[in-house]
Amino acid sequence: MVGIVFASHGGLAEGVRDSVTMVFGEQRDLACVSLRPSMAPEEFRAELEAAVRGLSDPEDVLVLVDLWGGTPFNQVSALLDQHEGWALLTGLNLPMAIEACASRMAGSGARELAGQLLVEGRRGVRVLPEGLAPKASRPVAAAPGAAGTAAPAAGEGGLQIKWVRIDSRLLHGQVAMAWSKEIRPDRIIVVSDNVAHDELRKNLITQAAPPGIKANVCPVSKLIEIARDPRFSRTSALLLFEFPQDVVRVIEGGVPLEHINVGSMAHSAGKIAINGTVSIDADDAQAFKWLHDHGCKLGWQKVPADREEPVWPLVEQSGLLS
């Protein structure tokens, strides 16, 4: 029997499990993993792996995830290549979950079951009155000569940087869904030497791009180069950094960044929490001091609906600068 894992932000996974239980009763080989607000991606992965180890067959597993591009999706995706029998399906909803529990006894593996559920999950999304459903549109013919023509020449200047955010989770659900809708960039650029040389992480980030927005990964030196390149003057970008030290390097390279938005910096050995989502060590504190001393506005904000709070006073109070 295929093992099933519901994975989500917040308590959605547990809620779907409880609803399935109302229909079928208690289910064997069904686990839930939830990303809590204070949880680092590595902690979520550890809980996911522990949940899978508790299943009867840890190599025949279907993971139903809430959101494409979120941290649960990214962490499951990173494990897929190591498990030939695993499958991942996003858009977790109750019809999909019910069908999964009803069909997994049929003898097919997780990957075959995922294909069936893709149809059922979509079928479960309907609207009343039915007239609200959009009419199928006819494809618009391309203008004569459009195919193969070169893009218009860019104007003067360089990359249009709309927002700069430090978030150790990089391109995850909050950025892909909330921040991208608020900022409306053409491109999300992850600026990280580490990720630029990690093909797996780089591929996961490009896959996690929200609809209509491209995602790229580049090292710090490349960002400094393209920021001044006039060919990118029509590109508006949301920049994502893992570390404040990389922001310092970009500014030292001549890129003017005046406002740095801080979302999450994961806790690890040697770091202390300065608020609910940001943990820093002495090196981080010195980087924030450099940014503060060079006139950068430093604000902490989890999601666009939150009010931005100043970061610098928290760094000063941390005791890491003495």
Of 4-18, 140-154, 251-265, minimum mean pLDDT range: 140-154
E strand intervals along the chain: 3-9, 30-35, 61-65, 87-90, 160-167, 187-191, 214-218, 236-241, 259-264, 272-273, 279-280, 297-300, 309-310
Residue 146's pLDDT is 34
- For the segment 100-113, the average pLDDT, to the nearest whole number, is 83
Residue 196's pLDDT is 92
Residue 136's pLDDT is 58
Instruction: Give the range with max mean pLDDT: 22-31, 146-155, 167-176.
Output: 22-31
Statement: residue 182 has pLDDT above 70 = yes
Rounded to an integer, what is the distance from CA 291 to the centroid of its chain? 26
Token pair of 255, please? 């890129």
Q: Give whole-number Cα distances, 202 to 32, 67, 205, 307, in Å.
A: 27, 19, 5, 31
Burial class (CB in 10 A: 0-12, 13-18, 19+), 155: exposed
State the amino acid at position 177 in one-letter form.
Answer: M
pLDDT grade for 150, boundaries at 50, 70 and 90: very low
Crossing angle (nearest 10°) for helices 282-293 and 244-252: 40
Residue numbers annotated as active site = 9, 172
Distance separating alpha carbons of residues 94 and 101, to the nearest angstrom? 11
Of 4-13, 199-208, 273-282, minimum mean pLDDT range: 199-208
